[in-house]
Structure 1
Amino acid sequence: MAWDEWEQAKQDAAATRTRLNQLPPGADGRAPSPRADLVVHDDVLGALGDLARRLRDQVSRDGDHARVATSEAATELTADGLDTGGGLRAVHDAWITKLATLKDACAHISNHLDYSRATHRQDDHKIATDMSVSGIGNAIK
Structure 2
Amino acid sequence: MAWDEWERLKTSAAERDSTRMQLNRLPDEDRPNAGSPTGGFLKVDQQDLAAIGDEAFKLYNRLWKEARVTSTDAAASDLSGQGFALGGALSHVALRWDKQLGSVMDACALISNHMDFTKNAHAGDEVFIERHVSSIQTLDSGFDDDWAKPGKPNKIYEPDKKD
TM over 0.5: yes
Q: Distance in 1 between matches of 2:92 and 2:138?
A: 65
Letter of the 1:56 counterpart: Y
Distance 1:47 1:129, change over 3 A: same
Higher RCO, 1 vs 2 (CA within 8 Å, ≥6 residues apart): 1
1:83: which partner in 2? Answer: 85
Letter of the 1:118 counterpart: N
Normalising by structure 2, report the TM-score: 0.61
- Is 1:102 aligned with 2:80? no
Deviation at 1:135, TM superposition (A): 1.2
2:116: which partner in 1? Answer: 114
User: Matched residue of 2:118: which SS?
Assistant: helix
Distance 1:87 1:138, change over 3 A: farther
1:93-123 Cα deviation digits (max 9, x unpaired): 0111111111110000000111111111111
Determine which of 129, 133, 136 is the counterpart of 2:135: 133
1:18: which partner in 2? Answer: none
Q: Which runs of 5+ in 1 are unaligned?
A: 1-31
Deviation at 1:34, TM superposition (A): 2.1
Distance 1:138 1:109, change over 3 A: farther
**What's the C-alpha RMSD, in Å, of the aligned pairs?**
2.0
CA contact (8 A) 1:128 1:137 kept: no
1:37: which partner in 2? Answer: 41
User: Matched residue of 1:36: which SS?
Assistant: coil
Distance 1:118 1:52, change over 3 A: same
Normalising by structure 1, report the TM-score: 0.70
2:58: which partner in 1? Answer: 54
Q: Which has the larger radius of gyration?
A: 2
Query: How many residues matched?
Result: 106
Deviation at 1:137, TM superposition (A): 9.8
Distance 1:126 1:78, change over 3 A: same
Letter of the 2:112 counterpart: S
Letter of the 1:36 counterpart: G
Q: Which runs of 5+ in 2 are unaligned?
A: 1-35, 142-163
Deviation at 1:38, TM superposition (A): 1.1
- Between the aligned residues of both structures, percent identity stands at 30
Q: Name the structure with the higher helix share.
A: 1
Deviation at 1:56, TM superposition (A): 0.1
Q: Distance in 2 between matches of 1:33 and 1:48?
A: 25
Deviation at 1:35, TM superposition (A): 3.9
